[in-house]
Structure 1
Amino acid sequence: MPTSSASDAPADASAPKNSAPSGGVQSLERAFDLLERMADAGGEVGLSELSVSSGLPLPTIHRLMRTLVACGYVRQQANRRYALGPRLIRLGESASRLLGTWARPYLARLVEETGETANMALLDGDEIVYVAQVPSKHSMRMFTEVGRRVLPHSTGVGKALLAHLPANEVRALLSRTGMPAATEKTITSPDAFLTALEEVRRSGYAVDDNEQEIGVRCLAVSVPDSPTAAAISISGPAGRVTEEMTEKTVPVLQQIAVELSEALASSGPGA
């Protein structure tokens, strides 16, 4: 993405033809901008749509897309529209692992301050994927394997992430995944789930109350302004993660989520 508003302006005639005004390479900035616009549009677009949204002329977009297709980062569909390509998957998987690595010090602080297992999860397509975890020091503790995928409707992190989506997008996701009951407390109605998301937006945090596993409660918040939809959580036995503990823990979760967000915005801790 362009690093300053100046990069949206026409390049100075004296600047090198392939250099962006910000000091970077303009063609690279434009290519990454197009990839992000494709992702925002659902992964598939036409050239005219990209031209309208980016303000770039069609010949420029066509040249950039031809290069991205040749590299495997974009593919052209039979209907002549363009879709994100398979080579992005490897980049995404590596980035997810790195995101988890960056998050671990913040999750470790959560464990120290709450005593319970801390997790980080992303919304990947229609599923939740756990990318980092720091376990509790208690002998009785929760454990979720990093890389595990679950449906969002029965998890605290899933609620925290879906609460930011429009209701019609949530309904569409639920219609694709279904709402199987993991326990007798799992929410299995789209209307009831949307009501639960309203509560998440009102309170600023999400709860999984025995919905994924009986005897386990989870508190979760989204990571604000994360480059990809992310949430952090703590989970533990319902006997320890009580209402009283919730009141003390939520502000800690929210604060650490903000600090993690700031670290990610600066390309990771120590950047």
Structure 2
Amino acid sequence: MAEQSSGGVQSVERVFDLLEAMTEAGGSLTLSELAEQSQLPLPTIHRLLRTLVGRGYVRQLANRRYALGPRLIRLGDGASTQLGAYAKPQLTSLVAELAESANMAVREGDRVLYIAQVPSSHTMRMFTEVGRRAPMHNTGVGKAILSQLDDDTVRGIMSRAGMPRATDKSIGDVDELLADLERIRERGYAIDDNEQEIGVRCFAVPVPNAPTPTAISVSGPTSRVDEAFGLRAVPLLQEIAANVGHELRTSGAR
């Protein structure tokens, strides 16, 4: 019979400790790194990994590192679909109010994953396909997500993912990025100002109480999405983000 800790099943808690440690490390760790991260005894880690590898939730690489397994993809897709479904009505109301495209994205390893999108009715508009993955350092949602993480975690993400400059406006230095994230935390929102694509501006905010670092945004051409637009958009984004976070919390999605 599994031991219990804090009212939960201890062996299940330990499995999630291992999976979360691999996720935080970018997807893979050595056995010794897993022991250091999880503070679990090596025999316990061996036993849990055998089960996870056998079920396809973890795989052992040729260099003897342990990595997240392909069977997690189905669980992740299902969770992303659920989160996107919660957000869709809220994003729709955001588009109705601001007349620009709205998005919701979550952290997936070292990148952002777009899980919901409602396009603007304008002929010239931004369209981001649901399921698209993008860098964190030069997207509005990515920076809003990074602002929820500590500096060491951000440095680890950037060292693994790199910081390619999509435009000459993109941030390409981790210290410059950390300074920008501090400003985002202070003011409560992020801006992608021509950083991923010239001629496009995006305002984004974190979603509180989400089960994984999450953000929502509105984006459009710089001719329409200007400073005056931001003054209208940010309070609405923050209100919608709070509503989405409340729905996730009260629905038990956490």
Structure-1-length-normalised TM-score: 0.77
How far the C-alpha of 1:133 sits from its partner, in A, is 0.3
Q: Which residue of 2 aligns with 1:16?
A: none
Find the partner of 1:220 among 181, 199, 204.
204
Whole-angstrom CA distance in 2 between matches of 1:61 and 1:194: 34
SS in structure 1 opposite 2:182?
A: helix
Whole-angstrom CA distance in 1 between matches of 2:192 and 2:156: 22
Whole-angstrom CA distance in 1 between matches of 2:136 and 2:203: 14
Matched, 1:39 2:19: yes
SS in structure 1 opposite 2:204?
A: strand
How far the C-alpha of 1:52 sits from its partner, in A, is 5.1
Matched, 1:103 2:83: no
Alignment of 1:200-211 (within 5 A): 200-211=184-195
Alignment of 1:214-253 (within 5 A): 214-253=198-237
Find the partner of 2:168 among 173, 177, 184.
184
* Structure 2 unmatched runs, 5+: 24-28
Larger Rg: 1
| Count of residue correspondences | 243
Q: Which residue of 2 aligns with 1:3?
A: none
SS in structure 2 opposite 1:132?
A: strand
Percentage of identical aligned residues: 55
Q: Which residue of 2 aligns with 1:149?
A: 133
SS in structure 2 opposite 1:42?
A: helix
Q: Which residue of 2 aligns with 1:116?
A: 100
SS in structure 1 opposite 2:163?
A: coil
Q: Which residue of 2 aligns with 1:256?
A: 240
**8 Å CA contact 1:130, 1:145 repeated in 2:** yes
**8 Å CA contact 1:117, 1:236 repeated in 2:** yes
Whole-angstrom CA distance in 2 between matches of 1:69 and 1:182: 38
Whole-angstrom CA distance in 1 between matches of 2:92 and 2:160: 35
Alignment of 1:74-113 (within 5 A): 74-75=58-59, 84-113=68-97
- Larger RCO: 1 or 2 (CA < 8 Å, sep 6+): 2
* Structure 1 unmatched runs, 5+: 1-6, 10-20
**8 Å CA contact 1:122, 1:228 repeated in 2:** yes
Whole-angstrom CA distance in 1 between matches of 2:38 and 2:188: 38
How far the C-alpha of 1:173 sits from its partner, in A, is 1.9
Q: Cα deviation per residue 1:28-52 (whole Å; 9 max; x = unaligned)?
A: x445422331233235567866985
SS in structure 1 opposite 2:195?
A: coil
